């Protein structure tokens, strides 16, 4: 007997920068992208043509007012995440919001506490979790082969990559901060996810702004520069104590005199083994090394994994959770925990002391 295949899910996208990776993700996973909203008309029209999207709006409320959508992706500046997520949840839609969950702890709390149906999805796009190498590292850690993980190091360092000097990224009230909340949040998430999301108990942080205030270190390219000031750090470093006794050393920079254009990593140190993920210039090959011992001799293992488009894999998870009526793997409570740590790091940096969380 033939069973009818379910109708395609219908998506709306708000924001047309990284929002385009969501569009590609929905298309790759068999969804219909019905509508797009954004203020940058030209970019939106280009995306409309490229991906054959029927409707484009300037006002996101017009997109949310449609009655044919199942889900929306929110890919707008950080200060708008809460306002738009709350409006979309109220419309009954499944919501996938870009990282960070919000620009402040208060807004992250508003999102987490917003009323929603038990089966209504609210997922944060932590795309790097869905890379095949991250997934392989998670599976390895979860076997217990590395034993108790007592130390971790993670970071994302850029040679010259301040997004949009003077635009929303570099204005504290709009972004919530610099590379710590932009890039560091990814690596903090990846580390905590691999470690099973233990709570953080205290943080010490320091921040620096050596490039941005002098108009240096810009990414150029797709990010428009603006007339706003440079109000955030361009490098942050932090030492984080977790409730398990494990400590985590974190660094994030948009601009620094260093080797690679983009270099991100997570290193985990366990009592019986270790694991490293090193991603230079976004490569997906040869990024993993697992360390252990065989018959008393130290060994290095180099797993080979298939490359995949991380945003598409994230959207696959979002749509899978919708279809299967199950919790998604990147829930908002984790986004709130990250915001509390990031806020603690900024407070530690400005007060010059350790902050208890």
Ligand X SMILES: NC(=O)c1ccc[n+]([C@@H]2O[C@H](COP(=O)([O-])OP(=O)(O)OC[C@H]3O[C@@H](n4cnc5c(N)ncnc54)[C@H](O)[C@@H]3O)[C@@H](O)[C@H]2O)c1
Write the interaction track for ligand X spanning residues 214-253; mark x where CB under 6 A is met and - where it is not. Answer: ----------------------------------------
Least distance from ligand X to the Cβ atom of residue 39, Å: 4
Site for ligand X in 112-131 (CB under 6 A): 125, 127
292 binds ligand X (CB under 6 A): no
18 binds ligand X (CB under 6 A): yes
99 binds ligand X (CB under 6 A): yes
Least distance from ligand X to the Cβ atom of residue 186, Å: 7
The stretch near ligand X (CB under 6 A) out of 14-22, 152-160, 275-283, 342-350 is 14-22
14 binds ligand X (CB under 6 A): yes
29 binds ligand X (CB under 6 A): no
CB nearer to ligand X: give 139 or 222: 222
Among 11, 23, 69, 76, binds ligand X (CB under 6 A): 76
Minimal CB distance residue for ligand X: 17
CB nearer to ligand X: give 87 or 349: 87
The phi, psi pair for 156, rounded to 5°, reads -145, 110
Q: How far is CA 228 from CA 169, 171, 172, in A?
A: 10, 7, 10
Site for ligand X in 30-59 (CB under 6 A): 37-40
Contacts with ligand X by CB under 6 A: the residue count is 20
CB nearer to ligand X: give 36 or 250: 36
Among 13, 72, 75, 313, binds ligand X (CB under 6 A): 75
The stretch near ligand X (CB under 6 A) out of 64-72, 77-85, 203-211, 299-307 is 77-85
User: What is the contact surface with ligand X in residues (CB under 6 A)?
Assistant: 14-18, 37-40, 60, 75-78, 80, 98-99, 125, 127, 182
């Amino acid at each position: 007997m033939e069973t009818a295949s379910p109708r395609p899910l219908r998506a709306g996208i708000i924001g047309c920068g990284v929002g385009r990776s969501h569009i590609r993700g929905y298309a790759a996973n068999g969804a219909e992208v019905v509508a797009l909203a954004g203020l940058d008309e030209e970019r939106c029209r280009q995306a409309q043509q490229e991906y054959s999207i029927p409707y484009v709006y300037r006002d996101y409320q017009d997109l949310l007012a449609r009655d044919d959508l199942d889900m929306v992706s929110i890919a707008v500046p950080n200060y708008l995440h809460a306002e738009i997520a709350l409006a979309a949840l109220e419309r009954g839609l499944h919501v996938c919001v870009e990282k960070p969950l919000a620009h402040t702890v208060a807004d992250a709390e508003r999102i987490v506490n917003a009323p929603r149906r038990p089966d209504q999805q609210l997922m944060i796009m932590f795309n790097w979790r869905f890379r095949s190498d991250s997934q392989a590292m998670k599976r390895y850690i979860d076997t217990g082969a590395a034993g108790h993980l007592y130390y971790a190091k993670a970071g994302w360092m850029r040679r010259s990559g301040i997004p949009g000097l003077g635009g929303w990224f570099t204005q504290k009230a709009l972004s919530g901060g610099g590379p710590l909340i932009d890039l560091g949040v990814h690596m903090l998430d990846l580390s905590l996810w691999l470690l099973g999301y233990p709570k953080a108990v205290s943080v010490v942080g320091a921040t620096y702004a050596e490039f941005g205030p002098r108009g240096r270190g810009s990414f150029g390219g797709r990010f428009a520069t603006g007339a706003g000031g440079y109000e955030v750090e361009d490098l942050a470093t932090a030492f984080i104590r977790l409730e398990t006794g494990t400590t985590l050393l974190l660094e994030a920079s948009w601009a620094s005199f260093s080797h690679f254009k983009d270099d991100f990593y997570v290193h985990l140190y366990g009592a019986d083994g270790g694991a490293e993920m090193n991603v230079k210039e976004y490569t997906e090959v040869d990024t993993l090394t697992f360390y252990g011992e065989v018959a008393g001799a130290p060994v290095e293992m180099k797993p080979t994994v298939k490359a995949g488009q991380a945003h598409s894999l994230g959207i696959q998870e979002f749509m899978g959770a919708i279809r299967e009526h199950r919790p998604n793997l990147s829930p908002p409570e984790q986004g709130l925990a990250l915001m509390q740590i990031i806020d603690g790091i900024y407070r530690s940096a400005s007060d010059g002391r350790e902050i208890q969380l």
